[in-house]
Structure 1
Amino acid sequence: MERKYLTVPEAAEYLNTSVRFVRRIVAERRVAFHKLGRHVRFAVEDLEAFISAGRVEEAA
């Protein structure tokens, strides 16, 4: 199984947000990420978990 890691600009595109927002959620530790030296990388599964955590269910 091959894991795909995204850079900050790629993660921003994947989330359909700005690079600034991605850097902010990293600084606030709201999303899981991997550090490779000075570089930050995101697993697609971690981004999907971040999206799922923000889901709000409809009112009954």
Structure 2
Amino acid sequence: MDVAIDHERCIGAGQCVLIAPEVFDQGEHDGLAVLRTGRPDAAHHPAVREAREACPVGAIALSGN
């Protein structure tokens, strides 16, 4: 699974960080989502999918598995 964040859409709600902190973080200066890894381990896939669904602006895109 590949993960991408659309930084033009992200509003820094932080739901992704709360749901999958191993994969997502928030930038120090702007609070927008950043990736800790663009290819998370399979064990994190369910949480990443949940984070995508929880994003209020649909800024998380997944491809692959």
TM-score normalized by structure 1? 0.29
Instruction: Considering fraction of residues, name the structure with more strand.
Output: 2
Instruction: Considering fraction of residues, name the structure with more helix.
Output: 1
Identify the structure with bigger relative contact order (alpha carbons < 8 Å, sequence gap 6+). Answer: 2
**Bigger CA radius of gyration:** 1
